[in-house]
Chains A and B, each alone.
Chain A
Amino acid sequence: MAVRELSFSVRDGECLALFGPNGAGKTTLLRVLAGLLRPTGGTARIAGVPIPGGAAARAVVGLISHQSMLYSALTARENVEFAARLYGVTAPADAAMRALEKLRIAERAESAVRSLSRGMQQRVSIARAIVHDPRVVLLDEPYTGLDEGGAAALTDALQSLKTAGAALVLVTHHLGEGLALASHTAIMRDGRFVQHAARGGVDVESYRDQYRQAVRS
């Protein structure tokens, strides 16, 4: 069993930063929330909709992972527009361009994804994930492989999502970036939260000590 007895809530405009060693169950947790995995027990709610909630629950969620989930033969715009149509967004073409602009990659909209650098692909992937204005955004190590420019664009996009009222769950190994966005943090180990707190002015170094403590015990 990868994940057990978790209890947490993330409200609109908040961001939960989730840390933990590999194999702790963080990815599994996100996949359950995204509707990709069926939980064997327990209850969860996404934006008030219970999980597993079928199409209604999936419609309000955006998923970002370190895999781009794009079709490399299609252009950036085609990928994002396809996602917009999947979610039933009105005026999908306009929504796609807006999402690409938000990630500052609109000038490459007509380039095939395979011709883009990893960082740019990740930005297109994020645009794909948010094109339908999701109320919950799940991010599984999105900073992986991003250069400085890409990481900055990602952080900005996530900040604006928070401001717009989305709830974020961010799984990351990048302590600094995670703490910058987080309204509360959690450390996961062996499928459980071993630490769960409102962030409240913790700096990176002392948090790093806390982290080491939590996973060592």
Chain B
Amino acid sequence: MLAAAGLIARKDLAIEFRTRSAFLAALVFSLLAIVIFYFAWDATAVPASDLAPGVLWVIFTFSGVLGLHRSFGVEEADRAIDALIASPIDREAVFLGKALANLVFVLGVQAVAIPAVALFYNLPMGRVLGPLTLIAVLAAVGLVAVGTLFSAMAVNTRLAELLLPMLALPFFVPIVLPAAQSTARLLAGRPVAEAMSWLRILIAFDIVFVVACALAFPFTLED
């Protein structure tokens, strides 16, 4: 099953790489949003390092959602999804493969957005880079699990592009809150152990929802 998931992930990434439009759109959106937030929230009145975690994870959420729609959009366009389901591979492999591709997509955007935030907000990134990367990966896994499932559903509805963020955002709160809180603590120089209680929620969320969404995925396909 992992091999099949890998095959699908590679296919999705090949498609995305061929056009690049969604990735670039998400990237540009992130950078623009960072700049707008910077000017909207006066960083002289409130220390930049207090604002930065919020900015970082809000942008993470919205740019993450942006890229999700295309995941099943390509399958719906000419009903390529039928060919996938009619083939011998497991339905869960389809979910895993698409989630993996989405994970690469989201982490790719974050690889640019996080340094950009650090740059604009003058954050001392050196010592927090390791833990911050871990938080980013954990948050991305959760976002991608829920987002992949909901985009599979949204693509079959009338309001697809509006519906996806509307359905998914309540589910992103247990991701964004722990991520922002732990980032804030790390940036304030607190020891990693203090952020652990937040990270535990994030890890628990990831485990529960990766499993739940993988199990729920077959129900979103015609049966």
Give the interface of A toward B (CB within 8 A).
Answer: 31, 34-38, 55-56, 58-59, 61, 63, 65, 67-74, 78, 82-83, 85-88, 112, 128
Contacts and interface: CB of A to CB of B under 8 A. Distances in A.
Contacts of B212: none
B30 to A, nearest CB: 23
Contacts of B79: 65, 67-69
B80 A69 contact: yes
A63 B74 contact: no
Interface string B136-178: 0000000000000000000000000000000000000000000
Interface stretch (B12-20, B45-53, B191-199): B12-20
Nearest to A138: B86
Nearest to B222: A36
Interface centre among B80, B83, B222 (most CB of A within 10 A): B83
A59 B88 contact: yes
Given A36-B82, A65-B82, A78 B14 contact: yes
A31 B82 CA distance: 9
Nearest to B89: A86
B88 A68 contact: no
B85 A67 contact: no
Contacts of A31: 222
Interface of B: 4, 7, 11, 14-15, 18-19, 74, 77-80, 82-90, 222-223
Main secondary structure, interface of B, reads: helix
Contacts of A67: 78-79, 82
B77 A128 contact: no
Contacts of B19: 73
Contacts of B15: 71, 73-74
B223 A55 contact: no
A56 B84 CA distance: 15
B18 to A, nearest CB: 5
Contact of B83 (A38, A69, A112): A69
A82 B11 contact: yes
A199 B149 CA distance: 48
Contacts of A70: 78, 80
Given A71-B74, A74-B18, A86 B88 contact: yes
B223 A86 contact: no
14 contacts: A55-B88, A63-B82, A65-B79, A65-B82, A71-B11, A71-B74, A72-B78, A73-B15, A73-B19, A73-B74, A74-B14, A83-B83, A86-B7, A87-B87
Given A31-B222, A73-B74, A74-B15, 17 more contacts: A36-B86, A37-B222, A37-B223, A56-B88, A59-B88, A61-B86, A63-B82, A70-B78, A71-B80, A72-B78, A73-B15, A73-B19, A74-B14, A78-B14, A86-B84, A87-B88, A112-B18
